[in-house]
A and B are shown apart, each in its own frame.
Chain A
Amino acid sequence: MSPYLTSLTAIVAREALRFIHQRERFIAALVRPLVWLLVFAAGFRAALGLSIIPPYQTYITYETYIVPGLCGMVLLFNGMQSSLSLVYDREMGSMKLLLTSPLPRWWLLFCKLVGSTSISILQVYAFLAIAAVFGITMPTIGYVAALPALIAAGVMLGALGLLLSSFIKQLENFAGVMNFVIFPMFFLSSALYPLWKMAESSELLYTICALNPFTQAVELIRFALYAQFNGIALLWTLIGAATFTLLALWGYNPARTGLAKRG
């Protein structure tokens, strides 16, 4: 086996093992979107009227509308969880083991990204399965068509996690990430309400939501779940993934003094 493949297998297997060891993390990752789906959506169903917008061809329930957004939520929170693990690894010292490997640093970070994205996607499918048990289903082909969209969105949000981990100095600073990254990204998106609803309230908020890469990731997943292709959403998601990845690589550059200070 080539050294590249050997390291990829080992890093992904380790991420998977770590995930298995943390059962509560898996449960939390499922409970969070399910609370939104089964409690929040039930309460808001009457308040939020939905018109027929692509990719839907008929009126849908609010629960059905927010499923792609909640898939995005699973990916977003898991990306941040991976970021948290990386900051923890750095504080505990095990990150040094990875960064002193003779393999290129970009490859090692890519392996981390593959590991975290794979776990995110497993969680999304677990969530979709539970949603289906509660009667919220998508076309069968949609579950297959969603996979590439979930990979693209997962990589983008995982790369964002990597980027944040290279700039966050201590675990304590993670509360700031929740307030300034996760919540704005999630609420200023089309995850919970269609953008035309936002436009009715504020043109500025609508513009911010439309520019939010998380919106594009959610729309990519939404269209894919109905076996439809949204080229613009894919393009924006890929641009987001490339930008976050490049910035993360820069963040982990050993010549960068900011990283050096943190040892």
Chain B
Amino acid sequence: MKGIEVSELSYSFGAKKALNDVSFAVEAGQFCALLGPNGAGKSTLFNLLTRLFTSPQGTIKIAGHSLNDAPRKALAKLGIVFQQSTLDLDLSVHQNLKYFAALHGISGRKANKRIEASLEKLGMLERAGEKARFLNGGHRRRAEIARALIHDPSVLLLDEPTVGLDAAARASITEHVHQLSDDGTAVLWATHLTDEVRDKDRLILLHQACILADGITKELRGAETLKDKFLDLTGASA
């Protein structure tokens, strides 16, 4: 079953097109990098994929469920890490995750068990009792990724999750999320940083509201570095 299926999706803010006839699919177990410069339409696409807003044009399916027709089923299969941190800084890591579990209707021992498993997966179990306020940026992000996994989603969306992190934290988080896709989760990772994308990853290049390129990174970049290819493509069409 496909993780994400987006078909002929368009969205406008008044007269300005934010997304123009975008179609793509991300398979289960695939790590798909959504690369694009600022203003390309990545955040709009994320807001549509998470149903923070809806578009009258086009369709989105998450794990086979239409976001328009069966939004609750689709959202139940979706794990999301937003660009902006959404941890409550006054709560501990465990309390933050428990609140999220409750928003997905998971409570009691089941919630505690899943929280433990998610934190373990991200190497954050020993920090469960710490207040989010006292975590460094990298650990906060890992806590948020762990939180996004509590309900065992088939699809994981991450909107520029490494913004503001140092090189070591970025490398660690990128590695963790690649591991999740190896375990069978469909991952859509929005970024504007080319060094986070690996050769074997699927790559979608979004520019000026349209998909400019779509394929396996190594094949797309050819002999060039991804950074050069990215600049070539986005520069040429600017």
Contacts and interface: CB of A to CB of B under 8 A. Distances in A.
Contacts of B99: 10, 14
Contacts of B199: none
Interface in A225-260: 254-257, 259-260
Max count, chain A CB within 10 A of own CB: residue among B13, B80, B99, B100: B99
A92 B84 CA distance: 7
B229 interface: no
Interface residues on B, range: 35 or more
Contacts of A54: none
A18 B99 CA distance: 13
Interface residues of A, number: 34
Contacts of B85: 93
Contact of B80 (A14, A21, A100): A100
Nearest to A9: B102
Contacts of B54: 254-255
Nearest to A3: B105
A1 B107 contact: yes
Interface stretch (A27-35, A101-109, A173-181, A196-204): A101-109
A16 B84 CA distance: 24
Interface string A1-24: 111101101110010011001000
Interface stretch (B45-53, B118-126, B218-226, B230-238): B45-53
Contacts of A93: 82-86
Interface in B65-119: 71-73, 75-76, 78, 80, 82-88, 90-91, 98-100, 102-108
A256 B13 CA distance: 11
B168 to A, nearest CB: 25
A47 interface: no
A96 B50 contact: yes
A13 B80 CA distance: 23
Given A93-B82, A254-B51, A255-B53, A261 B107 contact: no
A104 B98 contact: no
B102 A7 contact: yes
Determine chain A's interface SS by DSSP, over half rule. Answer: helix
Contacts of B76: 102
Given A1-B107, A97-B103, A100-B52, A260 B84 contact: no
A18 B50 CA distance: 26
A94 interface: yes
Contacts of B108: 1
Contacts of A7: 102-103, 105
Q: Which 3 A-B pairs have the closest CB atoms?
A: A3-B105, A10-B102, A260-B53
Given A3-B105, A102-B73, A261-B13, 10 more contacts: A4-B105, A7-B102, A7-B103, A21-B90, A93-B85, A96-B82, A97-B103, A100-B75, A100-B80, A255-B56
29 contacts: A2-B105, A4-B105, A6-B105, A7-B102, A9-B102, A10-B102, A10-B103, A11-B103, A14-B88, A17-B90, A21-B90, A92-B84, A94-B86, A96-B52, A96-B86, A97-B86, A98-B103, A100-B50, A101-B75, A101-B103, A101-B104, A102-B73, A102-B75, A103-B72, A104-B72, A255-B53, A255-B56, A257-B13, A260-B47
Interface of A: 1-4, 6-7, 9-11, 14, 17-18, 21, 92-94, 96-104, 108, 254-257, 259-261, 263
Interface of B: 13, 43, 47, 50-54, 56, 71-73, 75-76, 78, 80, 82-88, 90-91, 98-100, 102-108
